[in-house]
Chain A
Amino acid sequence: MMEIRTPKTGKAKRVLEKRAPKLVETGKKTLILHGTKTSATVSSVLMELYRLKKGGAIKYSRRNENIRPFESGGETSLEFFSQKTDCSLFVYGSHTKKRPDNLVLGRMYDHQVYDLIEVGIENFKSLLSFSYDKKFAPHEGTKPFICFTGEGFENVPELKHLKEVLTDLFRGEVVDNLNLTGLDRAYVCSAISPTKVFLTHCALKLKRSGTIVPRMELVEVGPSMDLVIRRNRLPNESLMKEAMRTSKDKPKKKEKNVDQDAVRGKIGKIYMPDQKLDEMHLHDKSKGLKRERKESKLLNEETDSKKKKKSSE
């Protein structure tokens, strides 16, 4: 016996529709959690990452013993959390003797693990240790610049993978329109060796230059760390093909109040709000406008006189 269950409140319905797969996707949420044991560096890295991604991240504070990303059975808990919180990126931190200060960055496709990359953290500097002029501190939720430097990102496959994952992680929402005053952060990633990447977070200073384009300056504000590549798992071919599939046509947005007619051409409807004639303002008898009216009066007189002259001629 099957039963049809539908949400009883509008809010529940909206939440479900938000989580449904869409044709054009917007920002991925990140799940930040840690394993059985974490060191001070790992916990501060996780905390600062959460702060950097405040709007689109969820941080779990309890330790999770049964999550082992690289083992076949150890991913079920992660997949469950991903489904629960609707997150498709995750950052898992742990600390063991074999792998000290370990960070696993992973992505999900349809709430199943898509790919993983494991990095070790070295030379971590927290954002509290940087001193800078607080005026330039980046605001929460702004779209960042992401910069990759180094030939390693092109030649070494693991670094290529890391580049993709970091882009996904830092990208935020995909927007059509950008406010140019809201550009205030940049992530700097440089491949200093075939196995190491230097990552830091900088604030942007826009300085006046001669042209429209201001001169950009970077001031190191945020956490900075060295990422040492440990293990990675690439997605399998079929899954990758499916995930990379994009639909070419955007969903046609219905243009409201516009009609096409063979006879009259393109017609638009304009809806006027109710004109409350009792409450309408008539003469604005303020002093400033009097001058305008005087001037316009003068102008009208001139044109009248010109007309009279013409007619007389």
Chain B
Amino acid sequence: METETDQIYHLDVGNLLGFNPNHRFPSAPSSREELVKECIEESRKLVQAIANALFNFTSTETNDGPIVQLPPPTTKLPREKHVPRPKPPTKWEEFALKKGIQKRKKDKVVWDEQTDQFKRRHGYDRVNDDNDVPIIEAKATDEPGEDPFAKRLDEKKKRVGKQQKNRLQNLKAAEKAGALPSHVQLAATSLPISGTKSQPKKIGKDELGDVAGLAATSTASGGKFDKKLPGEKPPKKQSKHHQYLPVVAGRGAVNPEKEQTNNVLSKIFSKHSHEILNVGKAINMYNVKKEKKKSGRSDKSGRSDNLKPKKDITKKPANKAK
């Protein structure tokens, strides 16, 4: 909308938005009320401009009033969430694409040959229900002891399990591409403790017993008076292992404490026995003793005492090594 003073308003009719970039507010406003009045007056002009555009659109009359088709908004505003990512094709879809298999629309109701009527394809009372077969004829390849009905059930279970696995794989691939459907959540049920995706090891009987014992110690009495389940072993001794010998021996029995200390002593002596005996001195004494014995026999022929050194009787004799 152009006015005389060449003011162009930026109008976005789709958003009912008007912008007047040319108006200059006085830097020193006269009064608050004047300022407010001025703002409202300018906005009134903008609203009038938008309304001019709006009411000139072709309107359709309805019960509530005239309805007008709004043009799409022109101001670009950021999105709230990301653009939905395309889902990667599933394994079957890839295969179908490669082989050129077209999707065919199936009817909900199918003609049943056996009962000569239309039956639904899935659900209650369906066509070709696996469970409804009364007689399965035996083939030449069948073993005599096998139950064909049980075999059919098994096969169905296997098929269902395979389908579940495939579905999980497809969903995982979709999650990787960031395109998981909004109503589906993939949750990890049992988290592995290690970093690998391996199954957690199954706990054995002994480990269970240990763990149960550990848990029992958290009770007020340390698990001593807990009721034991049938088959549960009594708890292993949990405290420190001390062994005290009786101080007083019984009748006829050896004093065990004395014997223990003796054993300890003898062990010590035997280990350090080479340090207890002074071997050099022992050899000297033995030699001296030997020589004395020899000299004692040879000395009895009669030598004058005057040549022998006189013994000082005041001096005490030295301690001889035994």
A239 to B202, CA, bound (A): 48
Of all chain A residues, which has the CB nearest B80? A88
Give per-residue flags for B51-71: 1 if the beta carbon is below 8 A from chain A beta carbons, else 0: 110111001001011111110
Of all chain B residues, which has the CB nearest A14? B183
User: With A144-B16, A146-B18 in contact, do A178 and B68 touch (Cβ < 8 Å)?
Assistant: yes
B44 and A218 form a contact (CB under 8 A): yes
Interface size class of B (residues with CB under 8 A): 35 or more
B189 and A3 form a contact (CB under 8 A): yes
* B68 CB contact (under 8 Å) in A16, A23, A180: A180
Is A2 an interface position by the 8 A CB rule? yes
A212 and B46 form a contact (CB under 8 A): no
Q: Which B residues from 215 to 244 make CB contacts under 8 A with A?
A: none
Of all chain B residues, which has the CB nearest A15? B183
Query: Which chain A positions have C-beta within 8 A of B80?
Result: 21, 25, 28, 88, 108-109
Of all chain B residues, which has the CB nearest A224? B36
Is B214 an interface position by the 8 A CB rule? no
Is B283 an interface position by the 8 A CB rule? no
Of B24-32, B118-126, B256-264, B268-276, the stretch lying at the interface with chain A is B24-32
* B66 CB contact (under 8 Å) in A6, A148, A180: A180
Query: Which chain B positions have C-beta within 8 A of A182?
Result: 65
User: With A4-B184, A146-B17, A150-B25 in contact, do A244 and B56 touch (Cβ < 8 Å)?
Assistant: no
A223 to B51, CA, bound (A): 24
Is A149 an interface position by the 8 A CB rule? yes
A100 to B90, CA, bound (A): 57
Query: Which chain B positions have C-beta within 8 A of A243?
Result: 78-79
Is B168 an interface position by the 8 A CB rule? yes
Is B83 an interface position by the 8 A CB rule? yes
A20 to B180, CA, bound (A): 10
Query: Which chain B positions have C-beta within 8 A of A171?
Result: 15, 17, 77
Query: Taking the nearest CB of chain B, how far is it from the CB of A207, in angstroms?
Result: 11
Of all chain A residues, which has the CB nearest B37? A220
Q: Which B residues from 41 to 55 make CB contacts under 8 A with A?
A: 42-44, 46-48, 50-52, 54-55
Query: Which chain A positions have C-beta within 8 A of B51?
Result: 183, 213-214, 216
A216 to B43, CA, bound (A): 10
Is B114 an interface position by the 8 A CB rule? no
Query: Which chain B positions have C-beta within 8 A of A175?
Result: 70
Is B161 an interface position by the 8 A CB rule? no
* B67 CB contact (under 8 Å) in A151, A180, A247: A180
Is B187 an interface position by the 8 A CB rule? yes
Give per-residue flags for B64-94: 1 if the beta carbon is below 8 A from chain A beta carbons, else 0: 1111111001011111111110000000000
B186 and A5 form a contact (CB under 8 A): yes
* A190 CB contact (under 8 Å) in B16, B39, B81, B182: B39
Query: Which chain B positions have C-beta within 8 A of A92?
Result: none
Give per-residue flags for A211-249: 1 if the beta carbon is below 8 A from chain B beta carbons, else 0: 011111110100010000000000100001011111100
Is B40 an interface position by the 8 A CB rule? yes
User: With A16-B182, A109-B80, A151-B24 in contact, do A177 and B39 touch (Cβ < 8 Å)?
Assistant: no
Of all chain B residues, which has the CB nearest A144? B16
Give per-residue flags for B169-196: 1 if the beta carbon is below 8 A from chain A beta carbons, else 0: 0011000000000111111111000000
Query: Which chain A positions have C-beta within 8 A of B54?
Result: 178, 180, 183
Query: Taking the nearest CB of chain A, how far is it from the CB of B161, in angstroms?
Result: 14
Query: Taking the nearest CB of chain B, how far is it from the CB of A150, in angstroms?
Result: 6
* A181 CB contact (under 8 Å) in B19, B35, B66: B66
Query: Which chain A positions have C-beta within 8 A of B185?
Result: 4-6
B70 and A202 form a contact (CB under 8 A): no
Is A198 an interface position by the 8 A CB rule? yes
B47 and A179 form a contact (CB under 8 A): no
A3 and B66 form a contact (CB under 8 A): no
Q: Which B residues from 245 to 292 make CB contacts under 8 A with A?
A: none
Is A114 an interface position by the 8 A CB rule? yes
Is A162 an interface position by the 8 A CB rule? no
B16 and A174 form a contact (CB under 8 A): no
Is A176 an interface position by the 8 A CB rule? yes
Query: Taking the nearest CB of chain A, how far is it from the CB of B28, in angstroms?
Result: 10
A128 to B247, CA, bound (A): 97
Is A105 an interface position by the 8 A CB rule? no
Query: Taking the nearest CB of chain B, how far is it from the CB of A13, in angstroms?
Result: 5
A3 and B17 form a contact (CB under 8 A): no
Of all chain B residues, which has the CB nearest A177? B67
A215 to B51, CA, bound (A): 9
* B75 CB contact (under 8 Å) in A22, A114, A167, A178: A167
Query: Taking the nearest CB of chain B, how far is it from the CB of A126, in angstroms?
Result: 15
User: With A146-B16, A154-B21 in contact, do A202 and B79 touch (Cβ < 8 Å)?
Assistant: no
User: With A4-B167, A174-B73 in contact, do A110 and B187 touch (Cβ < 8 Å)?
Assistant: no
Query: Which chain B positions have C-beta within 8 A of A88?
Result: 80-81
A148 to B168, CA, bound (A): 53
B15 and A5 form a contact (CB under 8 A): no
B25 and A178 form a contact (CB under 8 A): no
Is A136 an interface position by the 8 A CB rule? no
Query: Which chain A positions have C-beta within 8 A of B25?
Result: 150, 190-193
Give per-residue flags for A20-36: 1 if the beta carbon is below 8 A from chain B beta carbons, else 0: 11110100100000000
Given contacts A4-B167, A109-B81, A213-B51, 6 further A-B contacts (CB under 8 A): A4-B184, A150-B24, A183-B16, A218-B44, A243-B78, A244-B78
The 8 closest A-B pairs by CB, nearest first: A20-B182, A181-B65, A243-B78, A21-B81, A147-B43, A190-B39, A188-B43, A88-B80
Q: List 22 A-B contacts (CB under 8 A).
A: A1-B189, A1-B190, A3-B186, A21-B82, A109-B81, A146-B15, A147-B46, A151-B23, A167-B77, A171-B15, A171-B17, A175-B70, A176-B70, A177-B67, A186-B47, A192-B35, A198-B36, A200-B39, A213-B56, A216-B44, A216-B48, A220-B36
